[in-house]
Amino acid sequence: MLTLPFKIQSVQNPLNIPSFSENAQELKFYDRNLNEIQTVNFRQKFGFIKMAYAEDLQQIWLLDESAKRLIQYNFRDDKILNAFSFDVDFENIKDFIVFEQTLYILTDKNLSIYNLKGEKLLTLPVENGKRFRRENKTVLLITTNSVQKLEANSLQTIFFSENARIVDKNSSTFFVVRGNKLYLYKL
């Protein structure tokens, strides 16, 4: 058991599972047996990090709430690669992802898309948004009962399950938890 809450980001690569703790200001990597591989501490180098997105095993994107900026950080070399100013409300952010020089931010009611200059490109209304997932060149939005794909400046529902408690997706199936039962649907 961990003494501080850690949010597991993604299990796309089961050999390296990243988890971030806002309270501890740390990002930890675990292997498939949940043995800790590495810890990256942000306290000495940055202000208050609201969220972290581990793009790969070298770079991390950080939302620094105290300086209102997005930071691209290479933790292997302990270098800040880029820092971008963003004047957004960091308090309501549920999840974010950076892909192809674009920042996707999920809040309680909206999906907002920014370029790295801080200019808002698009805002879409969202109901019950939980988190982002990226598959190849596609950005997916996971909600309470659907999986939606961002396509042509709109959200297209690719899977929906009514009355679901949890909906998720991996590379080969959709998962649905409904009424204390787990359902698997092939792609």
- For 37-95, the DSSP string reads EEEEE-TTTSS-EEEEEE-SSSEEEEEETTTTEEEEEETTTTEEEEEEE--S-GGG--E
Closest to 122 measured CA to CA, from 134, 139, 142: 139
First to last CA, the chain: 35
Per the structure, the count of domains in the chain is 1
Closest to 150 measured CA to CA, from 164, 165, 132: 132
Tell me the per-residue pLDDT of 80-139, one tens digit each, with 9 for 90 and over. 999 999 888 888 899 999 999 999 999 989 999 999 988 999 999 999 899 998 888 899
Counting Cα atoms < 13 Å in the Cβ hemisphere of 85 gives 1
Distance, in Å, from the CA atom of 129 to the CA atom of 148, rounded to the nearest integer, reads 10
Decide if 161 contacts 143 (C-beta within 8 A): no
Write 74-79 long-range contacts (CB < 8 A, 24+): 75/27, 75/40, 78/45
Q: In the 8-state DSSP scheme, what is residue 108?
A: S
For residue 159, being part of any structural domain is answered with no
Distance of CA 128 to the CA centre of its chain: 15
Residue 58 has pLDDT above 70, yes or no: yes
**Where residue 187 falls among pLDDT bands split at 50, 70, 90?**
confident
For residue 69, being part of any structural domain is answered with yes
The residue to which tokens 């390296």 are assigned: 16
For residue 81, being part of any structural domain is answered with yes
For residue 185, being part of any structural domain is answered with no
For residue 56, being part of any structural domain is answered with yes
φ, ψ for residue 154 (rounded to 5)?
-150, 165
The residue to which tokens 């920014």 are assigned: 114
For residue 108, being part of any structural domain is answered with no
For residue 17, being part of any structural domain is answered with yes
> What integer is the mean pLDDT of 151-156?
90
Structural domain boundaries, residue 35: 1-85
Q: What is the pTM of this model?
A: 0.86
What pLDDT is recorded for position 134?
Answer: 87
For residue 126, being part of any structural domain is answered with no
- Domain containing 60 — which CATH number? 2.40.10.480
DSSP string, 127-154: SSEEEEEEETTEEEEEESSEEEEEETTE
Distance, in Å, from the CA atom of 64 to the CA atom of 60, rounded to the nearest integer, reads 12
